[in-house]
Amino acid sequence: MLPFSRVAVIGLGLIGSSIARGVRQHMPSVRVTGYDADPAVRETAVRIDLCDDIADTAGTAVIDADLVVLCVPVGAMGAVAAEIAADLPADAILSDVGSCKESVIEAVRAALPDAVFVPAHPVAGTENSGPEAGFASLFHHRWCIITPPEGTEPLAIERVLEFWRRLGAEVETMEPAHHDRVLAVTSHLPHLIAYTIVGTASDLEEVTASEVIKYSAGGFRDFTRIAASDPTMWRDVFLANREAVLDMLQRFSEDLTALQRAIRWGKGDELFELFSRTRAVRRSIIDSGQDDARPDFGRSHD
């Protein structure tokens, strides 16, 4: 039995459009209504037949839904929740796809204190954005972490878990604060480092204009891919999860200082030990199916 029959997707960027496509592919009898605050995005969604219906307002989109998924930047969650408050059915389950959870739960609870809210975070994405960037298989074999607040109805949690299973995701439940610390080091800090490195290269105008871009090797090239991610989304993530990010950034700074010292004093054994440990981490990521072991990350060079 399908967990939901009428799904409303609020925000039709990469994740929202991928959810809509995934529902239509894996649960074709489920009706999908979409909404985006940008009229141009709504026009594109109509043109590419992204959903069964594209609403003109967020309230209209949710009026008969039994699942509402908020796919907007985490800094906008509270405002969107307030926007749908008058029209959200009492028996609907509300969820989201935000990369940090404690601040989102607080913002949504302030606007919708009585709603059944089951937060979720699909750990999947690309550097592209917009309704045409999504694809139905985005969540296949990727983790989706469900972070229900204490006291959430077990049946509601299971329905959201099953929804993500139907989209092809591996599912896990996690306490919201723990999720935010885990993602601070596995996702947020790497993005912050990527933005910093690419920004540093950009500041070196006399080099960036020629050698850095022309001779971009794998490491710098991969940083530029991460740094091309949606700036609004990541601005909001860093501000919303600031405590965990700052904590992990402090730890990283201490480790970086130790690495700097090892290089300065020629401590080759110390460097080799660190690089061996980090290489093992990379192998474990491949072994768990979370990345591609093919040469050059499976890139095509045709």
Same-domain status, 165 and 198: no
Residue 14 lies in a domain: yes
Give the strand pairing for 143-146 and 120-122.
antiparallel
Domain boundary among 174, 196, 230: 174
Q: For residue 51, what pLDDT is reported? A: 97
Q: How do residues 144-178 score in pLDDT, each as one tens digit? A: 999 999 999 999 999 999 999 999 999 999 999 99
Burial 186-199 (b: 16+ CB within 10 A, else e): ebbbebbbbbebbe
Range of the domain at 118: 6-174
- pLDDT computed for residue 282 by the predictor: 67
Give the helix ranges, DSSP H, for the chain: 14-26, 39-47, 58-62, 77-84, 102-111, 154-166, 176-183, 189-203, 205-207, 213-214, 218-227, 231-240, 242-264, 268-287
Q: Could you tell me which residues come within 8 angstroms of residue 84 by beta carbon, excluding any fewer than 6 positions away?
A: 10, 58, 59, 61, 62, 68, 112
How far apart (Å, rounded) are the C-alpha atoms in residues 124 and 87?
30
Query: What is the phi/psi pair of residue 278, to 5°?
Result: -70, -30
Residues 205 and 168 reside in one and the same domain: no
**Is residue 300, in this structure, part of any structural domain at all?**
no
| Whether residue 162 is found in the same domain as residue 208 | no
The three-state (H, E, C) secondary structure of 138-149, written as one string: CCCCCEEEECCC
Report in angstroms the alpha-carbon separations of 169 from 53, 139, 163, 166, 193: 25, 5, 9, 7, 28
Residue 122, both tokens: 């699909």
Q: Do 80 and 161 lie in a common domain?
A: yes
Under-50 pLDDT residues of the chain:
295-302
**161 and 218 part of one domain:** no
The string of pLDDT tens digits covering residues 57-67 is 999 999 999 99
| Threshold 0.85, pTM exceeds | no
Both 108 and 141 in one domain: the answer is: yes
- 196 and 170 within one domain: no
- What tokens does 40 get? 């141009």
Query: Which among 109, 143, 174 is the end of a domain?
Result: 174
CA distances from 48 to 43, 60, 180 (A): 9, 21, 35
